[in-house]
Amino acid sequence: MAASMESKRRAARVVASLRGEYPEADCALRHVDAFQLLIATILSAQCTDERVNQVTPGLFAQYPTPADLAACPLPALEKAIQSTGFFRNKARNIQACCRQLVERHGGHIPRDLDALVQLPGVGRKTANVVLGTAFGLPTGVVVDTHVTRLAGRMGLTRETDAVKIEQDLIKILPRDEWIAFSHRMIHHGRRICNARKPNCDECVLSDACPRVGVVPNAPSAKSTRSAAKPIPSSSPKSKKPKKTKQRTSLATADSPEQPRQPVSQRAPGRKVSRRSSPA
């Protein structure tokens, strides 16, 4: 289905605004070559880039090449990447990926999307990251959790599946913006348009973004309690007489207990003598 002109105009506005806001935006994963970027991207699944950047320097110092990672003991690799989460599955994928790089590609990273996605642990997103960032090849648009969230809020797509979102974005974005667009969206998602509480007042797109699915900020619990309290009326109200609490321990509810009179005020009466005990 062809993209509408309105979608393309909105996309052009987003591209221009984010370019002005993040002119130097780049990949947040630290790396020196395509191999390091490939491994770092695999590690970034269900993990923050900050954590990956803490792990990879030591990892690449000990295993600097695909051959080194392919030959290292699996328990040692698991221990080295344990803090990134899902480390057993990631370790198996990394080792299998490196073995295929050595056996099929001479230890080099292929510059082909179809070849990359055949490697264990490498999906379309990872392949687009490597090809776009390491080689400058715009093979697609990287769609991670940030791009998924922002593209929906900005009205650039109605899809929730990453592959379908990418296809929508490819139709409305200029090809020479595919690489930088993802980096800028990721930066914007972390700094302004975060998942829980987007800072729309500080957003460069605040006057153009439709804010699809964004819930207005709810009032705090304190303000909610304050709002629930009734506001006293300015007109005076007559005071209601206080109700006297009726005691029912010594008198019935129908006959309230009368206050006891002092001994000096009691009416004179016959003095009752105590019964004498039988002889």
pLDDT category at 227 given cuts 50, 70, 90 is: very low
pLDDT category at 243 given cuts 50, 70, 90 is: low
CATH class, domain 34-135, is mainly alpha
pLDDT at 4: 83
pLDDT tens by residue, 130-177: 999 999 999 999 999 999 999 999 999 999 999 999 999 999 999 999
> Mean pLDDT over residues 227-231, rounded?
49
Catalytic residue among 144, 201, 239, 254: 144
Residue 125 a catalytic site member:
yes
Residue 201 a catalytic site member:
no
* Higher pLDDT, residue 95 or 279: 95
Domain 5-18+146-202 sits in CATH at 1.10.1670.10
Instruction: Parse the chain into domains and list their residue ranges.
Output: 5-18+146-202, 34-135
pLDDT at 216: 78
pLDDT tens by residue, 179-202: 999 999 999 999 999 999 999 999
Name the percent of the chain lying above pLDDT 90.
74
Average pLDDT score over the chain: 85
pLDDT at 272: 46
pLDDT tens by residue, 48-81: 999 999 999 999 999 999 999 999 999 999 999 9
As a whole number of angstroms, the longest Cα–Cα distance in the chain is 127
